[in-house]
Structure formats: C-alpha cells, structure tokens
Amino acid sequence: MALSNENETIKGFSKLALKNNHIPKKYYNKYDVKQGLRNSNGTGVLVGLTDIGSVQGYTMHKGNKIPMEGKLYYRGIDIEKIVEGFQMENRIGYEEICFLLLFGRLPNKDELKEFNELLDQCRYLPDGFTENMILKIPSKDIMNKLQRSVLVLYSHDYNPDSITIDNILRQSIQLIAKFPTIISYGYQAKAHYFNRDSLFIHSPKPNMGTAKNILHMIRSHNKYTETEAEALDLCLVIHSEHGGGNNSTFATHVVSSSGTDTYSTISAAIGSLKGPKHGGANLKVLRMIENIKENVPNLKDKGQLKDYLLKILKRQVFNKEGLIYGMGHAVYTISDPRAKLLKKKAHKLALEKNKMEEYNLYSSIESLSKELFKELKGHDFEICANVDLYSGFIYEMLNIPSDLYTPLFACARIAGWCAHRIEQIVSDQKIMRPAYISVQENTPYVSLCNR
C-alpha cells in the first residue's frame, strides 16, 4: 500500500476510533468517578501509605483547603534543613539523599564513604553496551534511549527476576549509578548522529559524585566550576523524591505490585516521566520565556511584562493554553520549598555567569503572576512558583542542552522510584486492581455478511 493511501486509511479509521472511544462527561458525574484520581476539591484520592516522602502545601478545614507554606520531607526530615546541612559543610548532597531514601536514615561518614565507593564501581556500562545499544541505535529523544537501555540491562543481569530485597537493592544501586552514564552517552550519540557534532565519550571518574560526573561526561573539555557542580547537585537533590502521589512514582507502585522485575518497573516510571505533563514542564517554561523575550519590548518595564502575562492567561498569545508555566502546583499553595532553594542557587549562579538581568526577569514573572492571580481570582487566592520556574533557568546557565532536562530529572528521581519499589514489595503484596464501570450497553453480534 502506498504511503499516501495508508495515511488516508488511517485518517478514516481515526474518525471511527474517536467516535467510539468518547465517554460523555455525564457518566463521570453519575458514577462519581475521580478523574485524574483527584477529589472535587483538587486533593488527591488516597490510594496508599508511604514513609519515604511527604509533601505539605495546605491544611483541610471543613472540606476547604487552607493555604500554608510548602514543606517537603525526605524520610521525615525537612528538605530545607538537609540542604542547609550539607551546603554549610561544603559537601555535595545527592548521594547522601540516595542513602537516606533507600535505607530510611542518614548515613554516618563511614557508611557514606562505602556507599559512594559502591556507586563508583557501578557507574560503568557493560562491555559492548555503549557501542551496541547507544552508538549503533541513537535516538532523537534521550528519555527513549534511557528507557530502552534500562530494559536491555535486564539481559546483562545474572539474576534479573528475583524480587528479594537484597537483589532489588543491588539492582537499584546499579541503576542509580548507571543513569548518568546512559543519558550522557545517549546525548553524545544524538548530538553526533542527528546534529553532526563531534562525538565525545568520557568515562565516569571515581571520587567525584553524580553531579560532577554528569558535567564531566557531557562537556567536551570536562571542565566545570564548583558553583556549577553545586547547582546541579542541588537540582538532583530536590528532584529525587516527591511523595508517592506523583505520576511516575505511582506508576512504580502499580507495576511493582504485579511482582515484575526491577527493569520493567523503572522503564514504566521513565515512560511516565517522559510525558510533558510531568517531567517536561521546565521545557515549557523556557519556551514561554523565549516567547516573552520576543514580544515584550522592555523586559525591565514591569507594566509591559504584566500586560503580556495577562494576555497569556487570556489565551491571546504564546500557545494559547492560558497557563503561566512555572507557576502553580497541585499541592503547594503559598510556596514550593524546592523553588525557594533553586531560586537562591540561581541567584548565586547568575552572579557568576553575569546573568542577573535574566534572573530578574524570572523573579519578576514570579511576583507579577502572583499579583495577577489575586486580581483575577480574589485577594485570598494563593499561587506560588513551582520547581520548574527556576530549574530550567539553572540548566540553561549551566549550558546543559535542553535534550537533557527531563533525563536529568530521571537521574535524580531514580533514587525515589527505587525506594518506593522496595517499600511496595515489603509492605503491600496485593496487586493493584482499581475498578472501572462499563457504560457500554450490550449489543447483539451481527454476522459479517449483514454488517
């Protein structure tokens, strides 16, 4: 069949698929279906319990959400206190966070040293993997490459299917260590084969940690400043966990409950994070910022900037979806602690990179958006900058290609995914099986000759 005929045939079938897969809104209301697993007041439907991460952005009083300063806890410890702790001691923090999430408490010096040595041993890919899996089959999308690579690692595992905790823990540590190498090489392959750039394959180095190794492997010259490494390390720390309710972590719980292997589970989580409604949000922030720069004559004029933000909300400009990306969150109301931490680090990095005008633009968008929402929705309405407003800006200042933004999210969140997988298998052995109600009426079978 010719390609043009094939496309026309598919278009015809698409109309049929659209017609017969639409469920009217009235049925969702009739059966009180919680679409998106959200209650009518916007809160999430309770589906499980966790000791790993906790997100607090509001309190409930008589069925109403009462805004509060946002809090994020890793194993019960305030993330802001954790970051303050390792930054005051001029240490990187991601590996410490991995230990905390996996084992439930902070490591002592000897444990952290031993854990770092274990990660260093596992950062290398299997023999022939780089050539056969990454360079010979490059992908335009690094998340796609990461997902396929994880599934292929199953074939390199001497005991891939066992779900004993010691085996899952071994696999988890290996994946945490290998993710940075996979995305770095995946990016180099993409840049070489699709962008015609020079190909650089740098081996990971011991005693550097995850953030420095990423900068080392994605840059041709291997160089970075301490401020750059600190900024990327912070991004990894604040993206490593966010409770059990986010889409990719929930996917981890669902797939783990079936008793399947670690590689299949983590692959499902990567597929979830790849979605633009989840892991790709900071890219939308950058696209919005680019559009603002192109259309606001004087970016320092807050009146002009506010007028354009209002046009965005009214669906008159940009992508006409009516959203100011980087603002608002399903849980956080007054503040997102991750955004607060990143904003502080973005300021330090902007001073080093001579990017203060750019920083001021982001800060103005944050403050003016809050003003606009209060004007439009009432003085009591609270909205805050979320993690995506400043994470993309930091990556941009680090000269990290946008192709790697979401893969970096995955590199961080793999620690949380693995912790939640272990928790699911230890604490709840029942396979998740939610209910769906069929709204299709029974119809008689019609033989082919009578259709």
Name the DSSP class of 199.
P
Coil, helix or strand at residue 47: coil
> Can you read off the two tokens belonging to residue 86?
């390792």
How far is C-alpha 156 from the chain's CA centre? 27
Question: Amino acid letter at 317?
Answer: V
Burial 7-30 (b: 16+ CB within 10 A, else e): eeeeeeeeeeeeeeeeeeeeeeee
Those residues whose C-beta lies under 8 Å from the C-beta of residue 439, and which sit 6 or more positions away, are: 23, 27
- Distance separating alpha carbons of residues 95 and 75, to the nearest angstrom: 15
pLDDT at 286: 93
User: Residue 201, Cβ neighbours under 10 Å: how many?
Assistant: 15
Distance between the two ends of the chain, CA-based, in angstroms?
25
Across the range 15-44, mean pLDDT stands at 91
pLDDT at 43: 82
Instruction: Give the whole-number percent of the chain exceeding pLDDT 90.
Output: 92
Across the range 280-295, mean pLDDT stands at 93
Name the DSSP class of 194.
T
pLDDT at 105 over 60: yes
Task: Tell me which of 370 and 43 has the higher pLDDT.
Answer: 370
Q: Tens digits of per-residue pLDDT, 39-68?
A: 887 888 999 999 999 999 999 888 788 999
Q: Tens digits of per-residue pLDDT, 204-251?
A: 999 999 999 999 999 999 999 999 999 999 999 999 999 989 999 999
- Distance separating alpha carbons of residues 413 and 182, to the nearest angstrom: 15
Helix (H) or strand (E) holding 98: helix 94-103
Name the DSSP class of 319.
T
Report H helices in 133-223.
142-153, 165-193, 210-218
Across the range 272-300, mean pLDDT stands at 93
- Distance separating alpha carbons of residues 107 and 104, to the nearest angstrom: 9
pTM (2 decimals)?
A: 0.95
Q: Is-contact 83 344, C-beta < 8 A?
A: no
Q: What number of residues does the chain have?
A: 451
Across the range 288-312, mean pLDDT stands at 97
Question: Amino acid letter at 22?
Answer: H
Residue at token pair 């802001």 = 80
Beta strands 64-74 and 77-78 are antiparallel
Give the mean pLDDT of the chain: 95
pLDDT at 445 over 60: yes
pLDDT at 253 over 70: yes
pLDDT at 280: 85
pLDDT band at 1 (very low <50, low <70, confident <90, very high): low
How far is C-alpha 151 from the chain's CA centre? 19
Q: Which of 135-144, 213-222, 258-267, 272-281 has the lowest mean pLDDT?
A: 272-281
Question: Amino acid letter at 93?
Answer: G
Across the range 253-280, mean pLDDT stands at 96
Those residues whose C-beta lies under 8 Å from the C-beta of residue 354, and which sit 6 or more positions away, are: none
pLDDT at 229: 96
pLDDT at 2: 63
Name the DSSP class of 63.
T
Those residues whose C-beta lies under 8 Å from the C-beta of residue 248, and which sit 6 or more positions away, are: 269, 270, 272, 273, 278, 279, 413, 417
| Cα 138-140-393 angle, rounded to 5 deg | 125
